[in-house]
Amino acid sequence: MTESAPEPRVAVIIRSCAWLGVLAHAGFMPLFWLSGYPVLALFNVLSVAIWVGAWLLNRRQHSTLAMWLVTAEVMAHAALAVTLLGWNSGFQFYLIPLVPFVMFNDRAGKKTVIGASIVVLAAFLLLHALAPSGTTLGAGLALFRYVNLVVPLCMLGLLSYYFRLASESVEQKMTEMAQTDPLTGLFNRRQMSLRLQEEVARYKRTGTDFSVIIADIDHFKSINDSYGHDVGDRVLGRVALLFAEALRGGDAVARWGGEEFLVLLPGAHISAAQDVAQRLRLAAEARLGDVEGLGAPLTVTFGVATFAATPSLERCLKAADEALYRGKAEGRNRVVSAPPQPG
């Protein structure tokens, strides 16, 4: 089952702004008709239909076409209204939100959105030059001069809000990419190294022990050689998911390298760490039997060490690694603990 493509960013904007466009144009219709501008009233009937059409196109995943439809409508409406009512009517201000609106379309090319933004700016300047001077607005239309400031500002505010959300989303994804292993979704080696340093600093402040477990999938090379790297990758993902689900909230697990995983257990001494490793071993043996059609149970070997029993983080990790390889030499699918290290 493949993941669906992410929704275009501009689709969210159209879905959120469509109701504002429909309401604004529906409100203009009676005002223009009663004020003696039937052409503008009829044009706003068309405008409502265009905004509804854009909303429907957007729902059918034609968000870029919907964007261009809305852009053309806003420019045409501004041009007609300013031409008939003059610059003081304020209808030109609807052009301003078009620039960030078009720029927000992540599916359109850079040259396209920049070109469209230049056209909108040119239209704004052209309207200023061609708008009739000395046009006097009736009381009703004069009121809408202020509406024509408020509505574009609301649109700008909405666009700014979604720009903020998009920026936060990108920053979060970049942070996740810097911290996680792309295959398993676990912490990567760099992030786990930072977590280990934090635990060392906490130990020096408070004397609180912590333990590490290094786990290695048994016979993983033969799985890759016999079944291919795609199967090997799926095996890694299954083991990573099992570890992530079985650990406590304050624990951490990372893909340490290749088929190795490192588990950090804050506040755990050697006996508690042994219990955790044994629980993980039994869970792997029970839940990963004959995984991916391998025809044989999938097992994991664990090496355990406690920082309080070693003079440095490097010695602690080395002790866990040596314990792991003793477990491999003794037959695999077991938990081996490192003895206390001399200072």
Q: What is the pLDDT of residue 298?
A: 86
Q: What is the pLDDT of residue 1?
A: 35
Query: Model confidence over 226-259: pLDDT tens digits?
Result: 888 888 898 999 999 999 998 988 899 999 988 9
Q: What is the pLDDT of residue 145?
A: 76
Domain boundaries, the chain: 9-178, 189-337
* DSSP of 81-132: HHHHH-GGG-GGGGGTTHHHHHHT-TTS-HHHHHHHHHHHHHHHHHHHHHSP
3-state secondary structure 121-156: HHHHHHHHHHCCCCCCCCHHHHHHHHHHHHHHHHHH
pTM beyond 0.75, yes or no:
no
Q: What is the pLDDT of residue 41?
A: 94
Query: Model confidence over 146-165: pLDDT tens digits?
Result: 788 888 888 888 888 887 87
Whether pLDDT at 342 is above 60: no
- Class of domain 189-337 (CATH, top level): alpha beta
CA atoms within 13 A on the CB side of 14: 30
